[in-house]
Amino acid sequence: VRDEESGYNKNLFCIPKHYEEDLETVFIPHGLILDRTERLARDIMQDMGSHHIVALCVLKGGYKFFADLLDHIKALNQNGDKSVPITVDFVRIKSYC
């Protein structure tokens, strides 16, 4: 997203009541994030070839994106010509400092 982007009007989306006053615009719609996540899964599968994938999730903030990404990779694994083994693990980081 470029700095000069104004985003989307929040009235185009269903915003929970408790966020309405705090939100001015929506910069990246959920559908666009899902589309890019699916594309990332395709790129990973293409780049990894038939190599074993080790997926590592940084807990707390990353679990939802991680789960969505793995769902797309699993779907590609089931519907594709080849099946790539995947190992999943989780880490918790104490501080980002």
Q: Tell me the domains of the chain and their CATH numbers.
A: 8-92 (3.40.50.2020)
The Cα–Cα gap between 78 and 86 comes to 12
pLDDT band at residue 1, thresholds of 50, 70 and 90? low
For the chain, the average pLDDT equals 87
What is the average pLDDT across 84-97?
83
Q: What is the 8-class DSSP label of residue 59?
A: T
**This prediction's pTM:** 0.73
Residue 55: is its pLDDT beyond 90?
yes
Residues 90, 57 contacting (CB under 8 angstroms): yes
Q: Picking from 4-8, 10-14, 40-44, which range would have the lowest pLDDT averaged per residue?
A: 4-8
